[in-house]
Amino acid sequence: MQDRVVVTGIGVISSIGIGKDAFWDSLIAGKSGITPVSSFDTQAYPTHNAGEVKDFNPLDFIDSKKASTLGRASALTISAARLSLEDSKIPLGNLNKERFGIVLGTTMGESQVLEKLNAAYIKKGIQAVDAFWVPKAPCNVLACNLAIEFGLAGPNFVIPTACAAGNYAIGYAYDLIRQDRADLMLAGGVDAFSRIAFTGFNRLFAVAPDKCQPFDKDRKGMMVGEGGAVMVIERLQNALKRKAEIYAEILGYGLSCDAHHMTAPFAAGIKMVLQKALKESKVLASQVDYISAHGTGTPANDKEECLAIHDVFGQYSKKIPISSIKSMLGHTMGAASAIAAAACCLTLRDDIIPPTINFQTPDPECDIDCVPNICRRQRVDIALNNALAFGGNNACLVLKKFIPA
């Protein structure tokens, strides 16, 4: 359990850019990926905007015959993974693929496949349900399809802990390497935009009418988004041996459950996960240079997250930059903390902190430095990535700048 674990490949599919470079350039420029929904008619809904990935073409990454057999979430997964593998320059042909595993997080899994099956049943009855698509609906297919695409025969998991699932996946992949149950891992999260999610969050009255404004006094809610991020993680000594570019070192992570409410955030549970993450990573509160907040833009989430941060970091809580990239992407569900982890890695590499856009009016209940509207150039050696989910599932990942000896 003493092996050091690092990130050597990053693949991102997002509403503000496909590929880590396009994503990062848009992120630090404060570009919004929120646009009118185009995948279905929203006339009957109270809101009409979301973070759809409008320019994603699976055929750019996947053989056309194979792509036609995949749901959108699997296509996003494979595409992000391909970008990550290419970025890492891993020599797949020379590896023991039984030691190369996959852990992914998701909230909805193949939600669009479920919608397809449901629509057929409603319109024409059970005989119209295409048996070909039935086994493609469970969420485990995301990791299975990825394994098949690249022939990876190592540990294979999908962790469906809702909107914290990306961090859970990265944390578990980190554990598998340190336990010597794998040499390399593809880890991250993915969720496709769906009518199910858009309907659900609108019925919960959690969606803002036009934009997401985390930590703003006049914030009105979140925006539903989609996307995926997959990272290559491996032992430090292996990365050094093959002279890989190292984006960041994973120091550890914390997990907690609020054990409080199915949908309402709870500061005590968030405080617990922050404390666990710092303890497991052997990091002091004074050493944290940046926190990537869960920051959904709902009144309750932002207030409770800020309360927890103040409790844990005390006098340092007003000095640490704390931004929410959901202000640009919307909430990408199971992909959210994986995409944010990728952003943290790039923050550590470049010493640039992404902004919280759409910020206008400070809120005394969110008394933090939210890096309003404009990115900030500032040295960052240690970054925390917060993820909070329905059911009170919380995960906090701790990443460190890698400095060669």
Question: Looking at 139, 294, 310, 375, which residue is catalytic?
Answer: 294
Cα(158)–Cα(335) distance, rounded to whole angstroms? 12
Q: How far apart are CA 52 and CA 37, in angstroms?
A: 7
pLDDT in tens, 26-70: 999 999 999 999 999 999 999 999 999 999 999 999 999 999 999
Between CA 228 and CA 230 the distance in angstroms is 7
Domains (range + CATH), the chain:
5-241 (3.40.47.10), 251-400 (3.40.47.10)
Question: Is 163 among the residues known to form the active site?
Answer: yes
Catalytic residue among 139, 163, 366, 396: 163
Q: Are 228 and 190 in contact (CB under 8 A)?
A: yes
pLDDT of residue 340: 98
From the list 232, 318, 305, the residue with the least C-alpha distance to 274 is 305
Where the chain has pLDDT below 70, the residues are 1
Query: Among positive and negative, which fits the CA dihedral 109, 113, 119, 121?
Result: negative
Query: Phi/psi of residue 185, each to 5°?
Result: -140, 140
The answer to whether residues 365 and 192 touch, using CB atoms and an 8 Å cutoff, is: no
How far apart, in whole angstroms, are the C-alpha atoms of residue 346 and residue 364?
Answer: 30
How far, in Å, CA of 370 to CA of 356, rounded? 6
Q: What is the pLDDT of residue 121?
A: 86
**Active-site residue flag, 344:** no
Q: Output the CA torsion sign for 299, 321, 107, 165.
A: negative
Which among 192, 211, 191, 188 is positioned nearest to 328, based on CA atoms?
211
Report whether 105 contacts 29 (CB < 8 A). no
pTM (2 d.p.): 0.97
Catalytic residue among 139, 306, 310, 331: 331
Q: For the chain, how big is the Rg over CA atoms in Å?
A: 20
Catalytic site includes residue 331: yes
What CA–CA distance (Å, rounded) separates 89 from 102? 17
Amino acid at 255: L
What pLDDT was estimated at residue 1? Answer: 62
Task: Choose among 288, 267, 266, 272: nearest CA to 384.
Answer: 288
Assigned token pair, 138: 């469970």
CB hemisphere CA count around 245 (13 angstroms): 13
Distance from chain centroid for Cα 317 = 24
User: Which tokens in the block code for residue 375?
Assistant: 């990115």
Phi then psi for residue 42, to 5 deg, are -105, 15
- In 195-270, DSSP assigns E strands to 227-235, 248-257
